[in-house]
Amino acid sequence: MPLAAAKGWSYGRMAGCFTLFAATKVVASLVIGPWLDRVGPVRLIAASVPLLAEATAVLALGRAPLTGAVAYFLAGVAHGTGGSLTAVWSDLYGHDKLGTVRSFTAALTIFASALGPGLAGALLQAGASFEPLLPMSAGLIALSALPVFRAIALIPAPRLMGHTVAR
Amino acid sequence: MTIRPAACPTIIGWRWLWAGFAVACAVALIPATRRMLRHATTLADGFGEEPAGGLLAGWRLMLRDRRFLLLLPCSLFSPFVVTALML
């Protein structure tokens, strides 16, 4: 793994980080439910994106053994919270159109998941160093949070609060 | 702080872990899905109609919706970065 090699971490440590990531994601997904109803899904998305940027920034800056655990913990919380995106689509388009919306967004998400390792692998094979990719990614994720704040301004308040408006 | 690898693969080995998942799917998930599907037609009755013009028209409408486009980058960057750099 390029990350383990770049940071000088053992595969055992990385496996522990993945476990922490998975556990945190499960707990965050469960805890987020009541919050989803209270503050609305779009606001939660706006909170989850900076968390992922932070996780990537921690990975970029740190080398200490605890760094990986902190980064994967934050990433787990961000990913668990990011699951509320489905609620955003439901709020925006209504649950009766959820199949249409989900089929499209799921395809895009899978495409992005597949593109990431391919692009990173191509860059690494072309001789790029792994270390600069992390702060660049942190910056890109932070930038991707900006349109969410604009979206908050465009979505009517009742929907922001998680109450679906009758259509 | 030393983080130990996940205990499961160490105890039973990664090959048996996959076999275990396959057995769990056959024993638990397939019957559970069949059970849920029995109620699916009843649930589908309450849903709205397909968007006029079909699925592609629905997707086209989404791509024209500014709110969707504003939320798209954050929904794509997360899986992109996590699978590329962290996993």
Residue B6 has what pLDDT? 53
CATH superfamily entry for domain A2-160: MFS general substrate transporter like domains (1.20.1250.20)
A30-59, pLDDT tens digit by residue? 998 888 888 888 888 888 888 999 999 999
The encoded tokens of residue B20 equal 């275990």
Which residues of B fall below an 8 Å CB-CB distance to A?
A: 1-6, 9, 47-51, 55, 58-59, 62, 65-87
Question: Which residues of B are less than 8 Å from A154 in CB distance?
Answer: 66-67, 70
Instruction: Give how far A103 is from chain B: nearest CA, Å.
Output: 9
Per-domain residue ranges for chain A?
A: 2-160
Prediction ipTM score:
0.78
Give how far the C-alpha of residue A12 lies from the chain's centroid of Cα atoms, to the nearest Å.
24
> What single letter denotes the amino acid at residue B66?
R
Rounded to the nearest integer, the mean pLDDT of chain A is: 84
Residue A75 CA to residue A23 CA, distance in Å, equals: 11
The answer to whether the beta carbons of residues A42 and A88 sit under 8 Å apart is: yes
Place of tokens 């408006």: A165
The minimal CB distance from A56 to the residues B9, B65, B81 is found for: B81
- Tell me if residue B4 falls in helix, strand or coil: coil
Residue A24 has what pLDDT? 94
The answer to whether the beta carbons of residues B33 and B27 sit under 8 Å apart is: no
- Stated pTM of the model: 0.74
Helices (H) and strands (E) counted in chain B, each on its own, are 5, 0
Residue A28 CA to residue A24 CA, distance in Å, equals: 6
Which letter does DSSP use for residue A161 in this model? T
The DSSP annotation for B57-82 comes to HHHHHHHH-HHHHHHHHHHHHHHHHI
- Tell me if residue A88 falls in helix, strand or coil: helix
The answer to whether the beta carbons of residues A105 and A85 sit under 8 Å apart is: yes
pLDDT < 70 regions, chain A:
156-167
